[in-house]
Structure 1
Amino acid sequence: MQQLTISRSRITSIDLLRGVIMVIMAIDHVRDFFTNVRFDPSDLTQTTPGLFFTRWITHFCAPVFMLLAGTGAFLYGQKRTRAELSKFLLTRGLVLILIEFTLVHFAFHFNFRYDLILAIVIWALGMCMIFLSLLVWLPLKAILAISLVLIIGHNALDGVNPADLGSAGWIWNVLHVPGFFSLGPDRGLVIGYPLIPWIGVMGAGYVFGKYFLQDTERRRKIFLQLGLIITALFIIIRSINIYGDPRPWSTQSSSLYTFLSFLNTNKYPPSLSFLLMTLGPAIFALGLMEKAKGPLVNFFTVYGKVPMFFFLLHFYLIHLIALITGMAQGYKATEFLTINTNFPKDWGFGLAGVYTFWAIVVLLSYWPCKWYGNLKAASRNPLLSYI
């Protein structure tokens, strides 16, 4: 009876964590479109602590999104057959890939020229769901074993170069090393999220879902303990500085920048250290959120209940606001009908401006997200489950 009750109701802590993560995610995307900085915020030779942490805090988003997608798949499957779950994951994975190359593409570019095609987080999410549609046929212990091997072991493959594989090198770009592919004159494809570690994260999230079949207090204790253990493993492995990240930390000009170097783990692909650093605190936070109540909880769960809707909406808002702001400053509209990396070189704002536009985007998204969440809750249309 307990399992049946849980599978038919939303779990507030999941929606809350996902909502917090989605709102934090928007910081990075607003920064991409509005910043006046033309270097990587993680470049310790140029960055400032404020800029570094503005980027670093958003590192939590993709791992948590992938983990909770796996957890959501497990809970979805509690009232369905394995075949139904597998079919849903396969179908949703294909839909997400289609969304990446249509709706997300247009949000980035505001044109359909397809001169630069990005296979990034939504593509990776869709591909991981397709792989998970196969993994769900295995016992949970087997899924966990495969997932841990992918998460823990993939850094042993860091020395493998796609160029060493000849004509098959593109496969390694898809699986482990980000890459660019020329598709003809002035046209290319970027693989930004190689799949191996992300498949592991989603698979681990699927197994993680079993804890939500337990009572609240029990799973709360598990999440707090597991979060602390994973975070401690990050500190230990990162301190040893031998395995777990292709970018070892080093002593810098000050203790603060040495600390930044310690935190400056590799995201593309996500290293073992990166995943431990982000998932440990996130799981601990999930434990804290199990009993959370109040206006802030209600605010963030509005976004957490409709993560894909918010993802799409906020990109369109960001690009549209950038276009309007640019025109108000005297730029031509055509200068913003392209991907953000092609915006005017002298365009942009400092961190104060970035955070101001972030707040505007988040607040403008609130009522549309609330409306769509109510629509999903009241409707039995299966198509709404895909966004």
Structure 2
Amino acid sequence: MPLAGSNTVLKEPGPKQRIASIDILRGLVMLIMAIDHVRDFFHYGHPEATDLAVTTPFLFFTRWITHFCAPTFVFLSGISAYLAGTRRTKNAIRAFLIKRGLWLIAIELIFITFAITFNPLYNVFVLQVIWAIGGSMVLLGLLSGASLPVIGTIGFILVFGHNVFDTWHVGLIDKTFAGKLLVSGQGFGEFWPFAPKRGFLLAYALLPWAGLMMIGYVFGSLYVKTYDAVKRRKILLYAGLGALALFFLFRYFNIYGDPAPWASQKTASLSIISFFNVTKYPPSLLYTCMTVGAALIVLSLTENVKNKFTGILYIYGNVPFFYYLCHWYLIRFTTVAVFFITGHNSSQIYNPHQGPIMFQPDDFGFSLGGVYLIWFCVIVILYFPCRWYSKYKQTHAKWWLSYI
């Protein structure tokens, strides 16, 4: 992939460069992401959307569309990390990425874990997307002094090569906490205890996501001000089309890249679901190609698009971490309110079927239509604080704004 010219750095951080198309895409996936989180808490019965025995086309689509969120956000974080480096010395960007990564991990363990579980005893610490982004930033910070080809090569090896381990789950990879945390992480929600009735909920294996952030970091070189915009859009478009072509080719013939091959089913709709039902935990090569390929195309096609809808998306995408924290707490406080409004009582706060996640009795929730209605209300309510915080960031230069 052609890269931008030499990465000129300044002695002190300069004005932050905002790329409208990046914020628009980030805003879009942040809104879509909230569908899945609302569904997690409000969908009656919590049916497994990717289980072909129980899913429906509408339910599967509701889950499938949210697959694009985490990889797009991680990839864009890599781009943003590169752009942040153009305003700092090498030592400064290394320190910034490591500190921000550790900060995100702390936020995941303390604030997001509580938002998800509403369990003040912290019987479980959740390690999902913010942990993956934070850990990836730490690794990227340690590698930031290397050249772009080196970082890109490591990223491609991690993304393209980790599915080699799909049939090899032995030894340190499968039997140690570090192995599962870094590489394996088979499936979502594996519990790793570190004390009686206390442990980590492993959801995101670090290295595949770190590889994706490294690839995003390399693509960030296309966004320096001196790079030709027409050439950048072509590279993004062709890279996106190439990733999707690889997805369809490898997926159709079940060549490589996903531990769960697709197969013809008893109905055409189930066969289509089987084809697109790729593995997120950990993110398979084909999952990454499908999602990031589409994201690259959107980045290419929206670079010069400006209208009311993209303006709204830009607001959300300009304050992603602020939105992320707020949306979790809004969803969970809404869960508690609906819990009591619908006649449930304090004896039902804890449900042994839900483990450490509070306010989830078996008879709680709504149909998918109700889920979408709650989701729409959530994102509309959050628009106003996001707009306020976006304006605040644009008119203030406080150091902590880089961390929230």
Structure 1 length-normalised TM: 0.95
1:78 and 1:323 map into 2 onto residues whose CA distance is 45
Contact 1:7–1:78 under 8 Å retained in 2: no
Amino-acid identity (%):
42
- Which residue is equivalent to 1:25? 33
Deviations 1:164-208 (A, max 9, x none): 339962221111222321233322211110012101100000001
For residues 258-297 of structure 1, what are the structure 2 equivalents within 5 Å? 258-297=271-310
- Tell me, yes or no, if the aligned pair for 1:36 and 1:347 is still in contact at 8 Å: yes
5 Å matches for 1:189-200? Answer: 189-200=200-211
Return the offset for 1:239.
Answer: 1.2
1:382 and 2:402 correspond: no
The aligned residue for residue 75 of structure 2 is 67
Name the structure 2 match of 1:104: 112
Change (3 A) 1:258 1:85: same
- After superposition, residues 308-347 of structure 1 pair within 5 angstroms as 308-332=321-345, 335-336=348-349, 340=357, 343-347=360-364
Residue of structure 1 equivalent to 2:178: 171
Q: Which moved more, 1:71-80 or 1:331-340?
A: 331-340
Q: 199, 203, 214: which is aligned to 1:203?
A: 214
Partner of 1:357: 374
Contact 1:249 1:261 in 2 (8 A): yes
In structure 2, what is the equivalent of residue 371 of structure 1? Answer: 388
CA distance in 2, matches of 1:70, 1:206: 4
Report if aligned partners of 2:45, 2:363 keep a CA contact under 8 Å in 1.
no
Aligned ranges for residues 128-167 of structure 1 at < 5 Å? 128-161=136-169, 164-165=171-172
TM-score by length of 2: 0.91
Give yes or no for contact 1:229–1:280 (8 Å, CA) kept in 2.
yes
Q: Distance in 2 between matches of 1:346 and 1:105?
A: 24
Shift of 1:274: 0.4
Specify whether residues 166 and 83 from structure 1 end up closer, same or farther in structure 2 by C-alpha distance, changes over 3 A only. Answer: closer
Q: Which residue of 2 aligns with 1:10?
A: 18
Structure 2 spans left out of the alignment, 5+ residues? 9-13
SS in 2 for 1:245: coil
Partner of 1:46, secondary structure, is: coil
Equivalenced residue count is: 384
Select between 340-349 and 147-156 the one with higher mean Cα deviation: 340-349
Specify the SS of the correspondent of 1:87: helix
1:349 deviates by 0.6
Counterpart for residue 126 of structure 1: 134
Structure holding more helix per residue: 1
Q: Aligned-residue CA RMSD in angstroms?
A: 2.0
* AA at the equivalent of 1:261: S
Deviation at 1:340, TM superposition (A): 4.7
C-alpha separation in 2, matches of 1:237 and 1:14: 29
